[in-house]
A = this chain, B = another copy of it.
Amino acid sequence: MAKFQVNILGCGSATPSMRHMPSCQVIDFRDNLFMIDCGEGAQLMMRRMKMKFSRLNHIFISHLHGDHCYGLPGLLSTLALHGKEGVLTIHMFKEGAEVFEHFLKFFCRDISFEIKFNIIEPGTSVIYEDDALTISTFPLYHRLPCVGFKFQEKTKLRHLRGDMIKFYNVPIKELHGIKNGADFITPDGKIVENARLTTDADPSMSYAYCSDTMYNLKVAESVKGVDVVYHEATYDDAEQKKAVERGHSTAREAGRIATAAGASKLILGHFSKRYKNENTHLVQAQEEFPDVIVANEGMKIDLL
């Protein structure tokens, strides 16, 4: 199974806490690392979680609150000290790109790699695409412009049936086409249907990161059909009013979004520092949606 893994580097909210680091996740997609948000201490957590700095080429910043981006200067300086080469792309809103460019121009002169800013907009659009993966933004509803990120694995290749490939003596040069669904035509013109030569491809998985947002069913529309949904759950029911005031969600509301989106799994995060543990978040989300994971630093979740 090709790797598609969510790594939790930080799942706390704005004020520092004894238990949680500020927001940061790394999606390990077939050994390419994509970082989502980069709170202070992200580089330290990458190191503690033994992730290879050299495999990180894209960083996505959901919005311009410090607890989602203050880790950038330290991480970039460390990448330079590690002699990183090539291009690192930071996907963020325009205002933030301007401020960070000014800052990095002073502190990260003469570095070994190029930092490129890809300006994102508050709406829905594809911001990254390769042969196997598409990453797109979708709107969230916070106190300032904010987007979520959807990671969609493309259709995978079908599995060859070794016995049948041998039986029909299929030449190697035909195999790629057959994995992609082509039929095989024998030297004497007979058509062998693809279904006889292959079995189904592994399912293509998808992940959506719903950063800071108040409860809004439009979010569920945006992530409809996604397998695993991360949704912020800053508060529990008791702080429902505060959630509305601050543009955040409760764990129960995160559960409702997962249900409305038809997800198979929900990850909760962005916990306020007021809680000694997140047991209440878990129970309240479970009342709305069955399969809930409470994020914690160091956690790795395989998308299966």
Q: Which residues of A contact B (CB under 8 A)?
A: 14-18, 21-22, 40-41, 43-44, 47-48, 64, 66-67, 70-71, 73-74, 77-78, 81-82, 95-96, 99, 102-103, 106-108
Q: How far is the CA of A67 from the CA of B44 in the complex (A)?
A: 12
Are A15 and B78 touching (Cβ within 8 A)?
A: yes
Are B47 and A107 touching (Cβ within 8 A)?
A: no
Least Cβ–Cβ distance between A109 and chain B, in angstroms: 11
Q: How far is the CA of A81 from the CA of B44 in the complex (A)?
A: 24
Contacts of A71 in B (CB 8 A): 40
Contacts of A95 in B (CB 8 A): 106
Contacts of A67 in B (CB 8 A): 74, 77
Counting every copy of the chain, the complex holds 2
Are A74 and B40 touching (Cβ within 8 A)?
A: yes
Contacts of A18 in B (CB 8 A): 47-48
Q: How far is the CA of A152 from the CA of B64 in the complex (A)?
A: 42
Are A77 and B14 touching (Cβ within 8 A)?
A: yes
Q: How far is the CA of A77 from the CA of B40 in the complex (A)?
A: 11
Contacts of A47 in B (CB 8 A): 16-18
Identify the 7 closest CB pairs spanning chains A and B, nearest first: A40-B74, A66-B77, A99-B106, A70-B74, A70-B73, A103-B103, A15-B81
24 A/B residue pairs, CB under 8 Å, sorted by A: A14-B77, A15-B81, A16-B74, A16-B78, A17-B47, A18-B48, A22-B74, A40-B41, A40-B44, A40-B71, A40-B74, A64-B106, A66-B107, A66-B108, A67-B74, A67-B77, A70-B74, A70-B77, A96-B106, A99-B102, A99-B103, A99-B107, A102-B102, A103-B103
Q: How far is the CA of A12 from the CA of B66 in the complex (A)?
A: 24
Contacts of A43 in B (CB 8 A): 16, 40
Contacts of A82 in B (CB 8 A): 15
Contacts of A40 in B (CB 8 A): 40-41, 43-44, 71, 73-74
Contacts of A21 in B (CB 8 A): 44
Most chain B C-beta atoms within 10 Å of own C-beta, residue among A14, A44, A108: A44
Q: How far is the CA of A286 from the CA of B18 in the complex (A)?
A: 36
Are A66 and B74 touching (Cβ within 8 A)?
A: yes
Contacts of A64 in B (CB 8 A): 106-107
Q: How far is the CA of A99 from the CA of B108 in the complex (A)?
A: 12
Contacts of A16 in B (CB 8 A): 43-44, 47, 74, 78
Q: How far is the CA of A126 from the CA of B76 in the complex (A)?
A: 35
- Nearest neighbor of A48 in chain B, beta-carbon distance: B18
Least Cβ–Cβ distance between A115 and chain B, in angstroms: 14
Contacts of A108 in B (CB 8 A): 66
Most chain B C-beta atoms within 10 Å of own C-beta, residue among A48, A95, A103, A108: A103
